[in-house]
């Protein structure tokens, strides 16, 4: 317990950052994010943008799977809907990027609601498989609806633009992706300070009791699907602007599993954990490359033998976290924080 954190008002008590120390560190964090693109090299900047997109998508999936307890294997498909929406509007209209991204989010939310419809009748794994079916259908549509999606070859799109400015380089895209990621994570945090978020968690913990306590299950499950897919759609839209190409092969099933893994490794039902998970999982291949490069001088065929390790590490992380650290990186982070708060008085 900290000294002096008694609150004068309920508003202050329910704020996201309840102490000035927390506010200070958040401000520092924002400052770092703002300065980063000016000091980072092209490679780090690119990775930074990738992490930003992954954070948005992971947060969306966390809302659905982590907080509402509805497992989804359709995240990549939803991102694809967002990506193609942005691509189509960029090619056929002159809409600026905030509008195309909004449309991407909304259209994906609509698709999410459609996919979520069976969620009242089917639960748990059956629902997961329904989302898997959705991703199969979406992939089929991406590949076959030639007129709109460009078929297997996909679509190439012009850069994002707003008020005559275009956002083309990673440096420019960073200023779209990262602020959006921050805003969207904060918005998700807000949801869990209100009745909507409580309803999601109640459904996850005990859906039947939640219903008897006055929560309309279908309504909130669909709302969770919509919200989650909105995030996925925006992430997919950013993906499209970032790479400027969308093809059916950009959104494979393995990407859905990647995001599920990010949620698990980060911590289901923990927004901060989700962010950590997204960053961590995005960085793993890069860390592995680094390790390979370090090993190569001593062990020349390191690249060939290290590469399959990625799959093994990826799987081992999922299994290991589930068995040994089911609350994920978010929980580890809390432990570290507690340690430093009490340090050096206790260890």
Q: Tokens for 166? A: 């275009």
Of the candidates 83, 143, 87, 75, the residue with the CA atom closest to the CA atom of residue 115:
75
Q: Which of residues 40-99 bind other proteins (CB under 8 A)?
A: 41-43, 45-47, 50, 65, 69, 71
* Range 141-170, binding other proteins (CB under 8 A): 143-144, 151-154, 156, 159, 168-170
HSE of 216 in the Cβ direction (CA atoms, 13 Å)?
5
How far apart (Å, rounded) are the C-alpha atoms in residues 184 and 232? Answer: 11
Could you say whether residue 10 binds other proteins (CB under 8 A)? yes
CB-CB neighbours of 314 under 10 Å? 19
Phi-psi sector, 155: left (phi>0), alpha (psi -120 to 50), beta: beta
Min CB(324)–other proteins separation in Å: 8
Contact 218/113 with Cβ under 8 angstroms? no
Cβ closer to other proteins: 173 or 344?
Answer: 173
107 neighbors 81 (Cβ within 8 angstroms): yes
Q: Which is nearer to other proteins, 98 or 285 (CB)?
A: 285
Q: Does 327 interact with other proteins (rule: CB under 8 A)?
A: no
| Among the residue ranges 21-29, 93-101, 282-290, 328-336, the one whose residues contact other proteins (CB under 8 A) | 282-290
Closest contact distance (angstroms) between CB of 344 and other proteins is 26
Closer residue to other proteins, CB minimum distance, 3 or 347: 3
Nearer to other proteins, 151 or 179 (CB): 151
Nearer of residues 16 and 30 to other proteins, judged by Cβ: 16
- By CB under 8 A, name the one of 187, 287, 336, 342 that touches other proteins: 187
Nearer to other proteins, 89 or 259 (CB): 259
Alpha-carbon dihedral 30, 35, 39, 45, rounded to 10 degrees: 50
The residue to which tokens 């939310």 are assigned: 109
Cβ 54 to other proteins shortest distance, Å: 10
Angle at alpha carbon of residue 36, lines to 35 and 39, rounded to 5°: 90
The reply to whether omega before 270 is within 30° of 0 (cis) is no
Determine the interface stretch with other proteins among 75-83, 99-107, 288-296, 336-344 (rule: CB under 8 A).
Answer: 288-296
Judged by CB, which is closer to other proteins: 148, or 187?
187
Which span sits near other proteins by CB under 8 A: 20-28, 74-82, 239-247, 273-281?
239-247
> What does the alpha-carbon distance between residue 102 and residue 79 come to, in Å, rounded to a whole number?
13
The H helix count followed by the E strand count for the chain is: 15, 4
Phi, psi (deg, nearest 5) at residue 299: -135, 90
> Site mask, other proteins, residues 291-310, x = CB under 8 A?
-x---xx--xxxxxxxxxxx
How many residues make contact with other proteins (CB under 8 A)?
A: 108
CB of 209 to other proteins, least distance (A): 4
Q: Counting contacts by CB under 8 A, is residue 314 touching other proteins?
A: yes
**Measured distance CA(38)–CA(302) in Å, rounded:** 34
């Amino acid at each position: 317990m900290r000294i002096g954190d008694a609150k004068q008002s309920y508003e202050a008590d329910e704020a996201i950052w309840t102490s000035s120390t927390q506010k200070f560190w958040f401000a520092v964090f924002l400052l770092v994010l703002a300065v980063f693109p000016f000091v980072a090299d092209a490679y780090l900047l690119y990775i930074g943008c990738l992490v930003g997109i992954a954070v948005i998508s992971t947060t969306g999936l966390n809302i659905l799977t982590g907080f509402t307890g509805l497992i989804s294997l359709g995240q990549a498909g939803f991102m694809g809907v967002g990506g193609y929406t942005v691509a189509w509007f960029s090619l056929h209209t002159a809409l600026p990027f905030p509008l195309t991204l909004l449309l991407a989010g909304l259209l994906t939310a609509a698709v999410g609601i459609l996919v979520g419809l069976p969620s009242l009748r089917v639960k748990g794994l059956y629902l997961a498989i329904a989302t898997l079916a959705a991703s199969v259908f979406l992939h089929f549509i991406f590949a076959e609806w030639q007129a709109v999606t460009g078929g297997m070859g996909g679509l190439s799109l012009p850069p994002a633009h707003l008020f005559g400015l275009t956002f083309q380089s990673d440096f420019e895209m960073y200023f779209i992706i990262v602020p959006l990621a921050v805003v969207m994570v904060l918005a998700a945090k807000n949801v869990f300070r209100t009745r909507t978020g409580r309803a999601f968690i109640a459904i996850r913990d005990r859906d039947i009791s939640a219903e008897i306590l006055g929560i309309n299950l279908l309504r909130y499950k669909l709302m969770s699907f919509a919200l989650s897919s909105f995030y996925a759609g925006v992430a997919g839209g950013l993906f499209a602007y970032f790479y400027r190409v969308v093809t059916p092969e950009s959104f494979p099933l393995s990407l859905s599993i990647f995001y599920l893994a990010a949620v698990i490794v980060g911590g289901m039902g923990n927004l901060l954990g989700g962010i950590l998970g997204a960053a961590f999982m995005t960085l793993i291949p890069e860390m592995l490359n680094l390790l390979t490069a370090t090993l190569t001088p001593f062990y020349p065929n390191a690249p060939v033998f290290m590469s399959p390790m990625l799959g093994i590490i990826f799987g081992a992380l999922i299994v290991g976290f589930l068995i040994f650290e089911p609350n994920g990186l978010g929980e580890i982070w809390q432990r570290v924080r507690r340690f430093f708060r009490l340090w050096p008085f206790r260890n």
